[in-house]
Amino acid sequence: MSESLAPGAVVRRVALRHGVHPNQLHAWRRALSSVGVAGKLTGPPAFVPVATLSDAASGVAGSAVEIEIAGAVVRVAPGVDIDLLSAVLRAVRST
């Protein structure tokens, strides 16, 4: 993420280099600036590895995403309500 904030960086190129859709990176950058979390970070924002679970391993139809944050694991099924997911992640981070 910090790479996309560097002067002269082309967000699309940075996103594609990391296997992220450019629109997603733009959304993350907006969220980072609008929430004002930049001052709360202990270091520059960065990409972290994300792995999807296979259908058999996750027990859900389609691919699921497993998010490790603040020592907890949050498994996200396809089609989850983004507002609900945001609330859960905020709650996990605050603990």
What is the number of H-type helices and E-type strands within the chain?
Answer: 5, 3
What count of other Cβ atoms lies within 10 Å of the Cβ of residue 47? 17
Under DSSP, the state recorded for 44 is -
Domain residue limits at 34: 1-47
Distance of CA 56 to the CA centre of its chain: 24
pTM of the model: 0.42
DSSP state of 19: T
Q: Answer with the residue of higher pLDDT: 35 or 23.
A: 23
- Higher pLDDT: 58 or 25? It is 25
The reply to whether 59 and 25 lie within a common domain is no
Q: Are residues 74 and 39 in the same domain?
A: no
Tell me: the pLDDT tens digits for 57-85? Answer: 555 555 678 888 878 888 888 888 888 88
Same domain, 43 and 13: yes
Q: How confident is the model at residue 43 (pLDDT cuts 50, 70, 90)?
A: low
Number of structural domains, the chain?
2
For residue 20, the number of C-alpha atoms closer than 13 Å in the C-beta half-sphere is 21
